[in-house]
């Protein structure tokens, strides 16, 4: 498969690229600063601006799927969606965030919980951006999109290949904790 990956230099982005390459896919890694990652066989790096739909569309055209792992506080959802549309690629996978996941019946989400309001301002901004992106995607019907939300905590760890799947609700382990390693998230995201 030919994968165009916007945001390839971040924590999640690097792991998704590694997993895709491990599985024999070809990846075009796109980032503002590609010096943060090394090119290697089947990984081509391209400098690109997620805020410029026309030039981004040229970089992602002729791929089978587009993956976006751009931080929500840096992303403009309409511009990314426009770039995917202009490229002609129909499959779009967005690295989501847990803030949009339901934690109580009736649709109460992680971002609506009182404890969330105690989080640092930058994290609240990132979370609001993720919820906004998902809300916008819900009205998109001309792309085959997936907004893939991780557990509440995503962190360094090992690649076990074991994780729980959910729909729109926050997933927790038997210990009541909600976390996943970047490496296992990449296994599923690929």
Q: For every one of its 190 residues, what pLDDT tens digit does the chain have, with 9 covering 90 and above?
A: 999 999 999 999 999 999 999 999 999 999 999 999 999 999 999 999 999 999 999 999 999 999 999 999 888 999 999 999 999 999 999 999 899 998 877 788 899 888 888 889 988 899 999 999 999 999 999 999 999 998 888 888 888 888 878 788 888 888 988 888 888 888 877 5
pLDDT at 61: 98
Which neighbouring-strand residues pair with 146?
A: 93
pLDDT at 190: 59
pTM of the model: 0.91
For residues 144 and 84, give the distance between their C-alpha atoms in angstroms, rounded to a whole number. 11
For every residue of 1-55, DSSP letters joined together read: -EEEEETTTSHHHHHHHHHHHHTT-EEEEEES-GGGS--BTTEEEEE--TT-HHH
pLDDT at 52: 95
pLDDT at 143: 98
For residues 83 and 45, give the distance between their C-alpha atoms in angstroms, rounded to a whole number. 18
pLDDT at 78: 96
Domain 2-189 sits in CATH 3.40.50.720: yes
For residues 82 and 92, give the distance between their C-alpha atoms in angstroms, rounded to a whole number. 12
């Amino acid at each position: 498969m030919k994968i165009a990956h916007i945001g390839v230099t971040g924590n999640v982005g690097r792991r998704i690229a590694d997993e895709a390459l491990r599985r024999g896919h070809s990846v075009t890694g796109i980032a503002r600063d590609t010096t943060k990652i090394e090119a290697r066989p089947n990984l081509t790096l391209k400098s690109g601006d997620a805020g410029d739909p026309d030039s981004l569309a040229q970089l992602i055209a002729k791929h089978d799927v587009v993956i976006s792992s751009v931080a929500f506080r840096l992303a403009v959802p309409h511009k990314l969606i426009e770039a995917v549309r202009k490229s002609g690629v129909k499959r779009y996978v967005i690295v989501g965030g847990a803030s949009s996941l339901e934690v109580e019946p009736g649709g109460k989400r992680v971002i609506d919980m009182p404890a969330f309001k105690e989080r640092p301002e930058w994290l609240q901004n990132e979370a609001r951006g993720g919820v906004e992106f998902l809300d916008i995607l819900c009205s998109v019907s001309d792309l085959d999109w997936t907004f893939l939300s991780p557990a509440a905590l995503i962190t360094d760890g090992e690649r076990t290949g074991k994780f729980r799947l959910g729909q729109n609700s926050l997933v927790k382990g038997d210990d009541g904790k909600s976390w996943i390693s970047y490496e296992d998230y990449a296994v599923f995201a690929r």
